[in-house]
């Protein structure tokens, strides 16, 4: 996969490449490690690199374990809309919340942590799942003159999908590099994600 020419106004957004989403983790994404070579190699071309880190308090409302009679991958209704329930994952300060050991993180300027409010989940790097509460990332990127955002990471059908849609909504040219992404793909959700991103004007590479 060849990248277009990378400019100073481009940013690489590396989403949730954390141990719990990789092999052996509590919410492992199939084949997650396969994204590391692309990210580590191509990351060198970017002047701007932002990492996100899913960062939940213990007992987070997106965990099936805190709801009576619910199992992971069930959907419940929260005040802000439908919410898929997950196994406990990326609990603040635990080993599973750390970035994958082989992810090169030194060149990143910013780590955005998300999902740290007990009552609301946050898939997107830009907005929590109410689509109103901002993480501040859009303002950060705009103040630094970023015009185009390249999204990679985990999972294609959740956090990458919603980050890319919000990047587009915030007016950034948005590219999702599939070689740098893997999805959970429950019930064909990878294809749903591709369709949603494409019809919103996100470029899939």
Q: Which residues bind Zn ion (CB under 5 A)?
A: 54, 115
Does 159 interact with ligand VGL (rule: CB under 6 A)? yes
158 binds ligand VGL (CB under 6 A): yes
Q: How far is the CB of 54 from ligand VGL (least distance, A)?
A: 5
Q: Is 159 a catalytic residue?
A: yes
Residue 127 makes contact with ligand VGL by CB under 6 A: no
**Cβ-contact 66, 59 below 8 angstroms:** yes
166 belongs to the binding site for ligand VGL (CB under 6 A): no
Is residue 88 at the binding interface for ligand VGL, with CB under 6 A as the rule?
A: no
Cβ-based neighbour number of residue 94 at 10 Å: 15
**Minimal CA–CA distance to 124: which of 181, 70, 52?**
52
Pick one of ligand VGL, Zn ion, none as the site partner of residue 10 (Cβ within 5 to 8 A by kind): none
16 part of the active site = yes
Q: How far is 78 from 121, CA to CA, in rounded Å?
A: 10
> Given the DSSP bridges, would you call strands 81-84 and 75-78 parallel, antiparallel or unpaired?
antiparallel
Q: Which stretch binds ligand VGL (CB under 6 A): 5-13, 40-48, 155-163, 170-178?
A: 155-163
Nearest Cα to Cα of residue 11 among 178, 172, 165: 172
Size of interface with ligand VGL, in residues (CB under 6 A): 9
CA distance 102 to 41: 12
With CB under 6 A as the contact rule, the residue among 51, 155, 165, 177 that binds ligand VGL is 155
Rg (CA), the chain: 16
Structure tokens at 141: 């990127």
Min. distance of Cβ 28 from ligand VGL in angstroms? Answer: 11
- Residue ranges binding ligand VGL (CB under 6 A): 16, 21, 54, 86, 123, 154-155, 158-159
């Amino acid at each position: 996969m060849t990248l277009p020419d990378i400019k100073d106004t481009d940013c690489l957004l590396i989403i949730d490449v954390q141990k719990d989403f990789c092999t052996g983790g509590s919410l492992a994404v199939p084949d997650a490690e396969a994204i590391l070579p692309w990210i580590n190699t191509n990351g060198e071309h970017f002047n701007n690199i932002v990492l996100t880190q899913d960062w939940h308090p213990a007992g987070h409302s997106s965990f099936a374990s805190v709801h009576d009679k619910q199992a992971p991958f069930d959907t419940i209704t929260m005040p802000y809309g439908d919410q898929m329930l997950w196994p406990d994952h990326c609990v603040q300060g635990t080993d599973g919340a750390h970035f994958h050991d082989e992810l090169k993180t030194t060149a990143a300027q910013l780590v955005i942590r998300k999902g740290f409010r007990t009552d609301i989940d946050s898939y997107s790097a830009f907005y929590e799942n109410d689509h109103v509460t901002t993480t501040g990332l859009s303002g950060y990127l705009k103040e630094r003159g970023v015009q185009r955002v390249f999204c990679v990471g985990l999972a294609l059908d959740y956090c990458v999908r919603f980050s890319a849609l919000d990047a587009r909504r915030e007016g950034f040219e948005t590219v999702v590099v599939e070689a740098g992404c893997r999805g959970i793909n429950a019930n064909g959700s990878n294809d749903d994600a591709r369709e949603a991103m494409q019809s919103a004007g996100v470029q899939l590479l």
